[in-house]
Amino acid sequence: MKLGDLTHRTGGTVWPGRWVESLGPGDASAVPEDGILEGLTRLGGRLLLRINVNGQRRTASLEWEPPPAVGDVESLLLASMGAAIRQLGRLDLPNRGERARPTP
């Protein structure tokens, strides 16, 4: 399974998350896929991703129906700080004990 294949209980994909705040009118051009992962915070069963899009630091919420466990996705993302969000969606989610690797 790839990170980009995570689904919500309603069946829709959840990657790369949804913005949790709005910068105001006219900010529709900033999309998470165009950003760089700068940090994350675990909040119960979801992750808050800090994403930099063209110098704007934004927060996106990522919540899905397990599996995989939140800790597994958190570990993958922590190991991928500084990576492009678009590329992260192509990473394979590891089985416990495996390391993630990009798909060619």
Q: What is the pLDDT of residues 7-42, one digit of tens each?
A: 888 888 889 888 887 666 555 567 888 899 999 999
Q: Is 72 within a domain?
A: yes
Domain that holds residue 83: 3-18+32-88
Structure tokens at 84: 């492009």
Q: Is 37 within a domain?
A: yes
Residue 48's pLDDT band (cuts 50, 70, 90) = very high
Q: For position 19, what pLDDT does the model report?
A: 86
| 91 vs 101 pLDDT, higher one | 91
The mean pLDDT value for 37-50 works out to 95
**Rounded distance between C-alpha atoms, residue 45 and residue 64, angstroms:** 8
* Total tally of structural domains belonging to the chain: 1
**Rounded distance between C-alpha atoms, residue 56 and residue 30, angstroms:** 9
| Pairing status of strand 56-62 against strand 18-19 | antiparallel
Q: Is 93 within a domain?
A: no
Q: For position 53, what pLDDT does the model report?
A: 92
pTM of the model: 0.81
Q: For position 99, what pLDDT does the model report?
A: 47
Q: Is 102 within a domain?
A: no
> Environment class of residue 37 by beta-carbon count within 10 Å: exposed (0-12), middle (13-18) or buried (19+)?
buried
Q: For position 63, what pLDDT does the model report?
A: 92
Q: Is 84 within a domain?
A: yes
| Contact (CB, 8 A) for 45 and 74 | no
